[in-house]
Amino acid sequence: MAARYRVFSVRVAAVTSLTPSFVRVTLTGDALAEFSSVGLDQRIKIVLPIPGHGFTDLPDGEDWYGAWRALPDAVRNPLRTYTVRSFRPDARELDIDFVAHGDTGPASRWVSSCRVGEELRIVGPAVPDSPAELPTGAAEFDPGTANRILLAGDETAAPAICAILEALDVATVGHVFIEVPTDADRLPVSAPAGVEVRWIARNGATHGVRMTDQVHAWASTVASGPACGDTVELADVDVDEQVLWDIPAAADSRPVYAWIAGEAGCVKELRRHLVRGVGLDRKQVAFMGYWRHGRAEN
């Protein structure tokens, strides 16, 4: 049986500006004693307050989501998905790193003005009631026993990539490419000695171009090697209408494992290149479209 998801009442314990584009919000609350963390790229839902209304109509309980969907638009709190950057259960503190986008949506507006002591709600897995229940928690990174890994993403994927890096086995070998808006947006992160981490600053360049170039260069080192299979055709994904999200099941036999996340159009093309162009088996590539260029946050 999987762990139950529930609404946790928390409050802001600290707001820390990490770089010009990243803000860390530390959340705390007694309810976090029952929060179940699985680490890696674990996703949770942030429930944002409605101005002047707060969380008055936010439902709780096991069927909170169905009740939330049934609410009128005016009193339905916005939900957004974020990665748990770190969780300190003894202190009952949870860190979430936000990308500062200005006034482009509810989450951006909230983080630009949130203050210590402000209330928030998150949705995540509760600690299992018994050892028979599984501590699941929406973490997608699953390389199995791959000998080599690739992690690639833009600033929206940077918190997840950093959390993954800090959880890797010390013997892990691989490459990491993280595209961020400026040179000043590089974040400190620990990684195994065998994992090369490259922060790629756009500095005004078109989003995704520089990261794509780096991944293509990396891919040329594995093309036609033992990691590759036969060239295959991929069903096209309309990133404007469909969710770009595919997580292969764990397979111990794969020699290379790629995890790609960020802007959907860029992610789609990188996956196409790795699978159809280079010849990686599609079961070796996890890809997630976190957002779509040209579409403002709702």
The CA-to-CA distance between both ends of the chain, in Å, stands at 33
DSSP H helices, the chain, are 64-69, 106-113, 158-165, 209-220, 264-272
Q: What distance in Å separates the CA atoms of residue 52 and residue 257, rounded to the nearest whole number?
A: 47
Which residue ranges does the chain devote to CATH 3.40.50.80? 148-291
Which residue ranges does the chain devote to CATH 2.40.30.10? 5-125
pLDDT at position 88 over 60? yes
Side-chain half-sphere exposure of 173, counting CA atoms within 13 A: 6
Q: What distance in Å separates the CA atoms of residue 274 and residue 285, rounded to the nearest whole number?
A: 8
Class of domain 148-291: alpha beta
Q: Please, which pLDDT band fits residue 294 given cuts at 50, 70 and 90?
A: low
Q: What distance in Å separates the CA atoms of residue 10 and residue 32, rounded to the nearest whole number?
A: 8
CA atoms 298, 64, 58, 72: torsion sign: positive
pTM of this prediction exceeds 0.85: yes
Which residues are paired to 175 by β-bridges? 150, 196
What confidence score (pLDDT) does residue 189 get?
97
CB 283 within 8 A of CB 252: no
Percent of the chain beyond pLDDT 90?
A: 70
Range ranked top by mean pLDDT from 49-58, 102-111, 154-163, 213-222: 154-163
Q: What distance in Å separates the CA atoms of residue 71 and residue 68, rounded to the nearest whole number?
A: 5
Phi and psi for 61 in degrees, rounded to 5? Answer: 90, 180
Q: Cα–chain-centroid distance for residue 279? A: 26
pLDDT at position 253 over 80? no
pLDDT tens across 116-153, in order?
999 999 999 998 876 666 556 689 999 988 989 999 99
Average pLDDT over residues 78-88: 96
Mean pLDDT of the chain: 88
CA atoms 170, 174, 179, 184: torsion sign: positive
Q: What distance in Å separates the CA atoms of residue 174 and residue 213, rounded to the nearest whole number?
A: 17
Which residues are paired to 22 by β-bridges? 99
The H or E element that residue 45 is part of is: strand 43-47
DSSP H helices, 46-95, are 64-69
pLDDT tens across 224-241, in order?
554 554 444 444 544 344
CATH entry 2.40.30.10 includes domain 5-125: yes
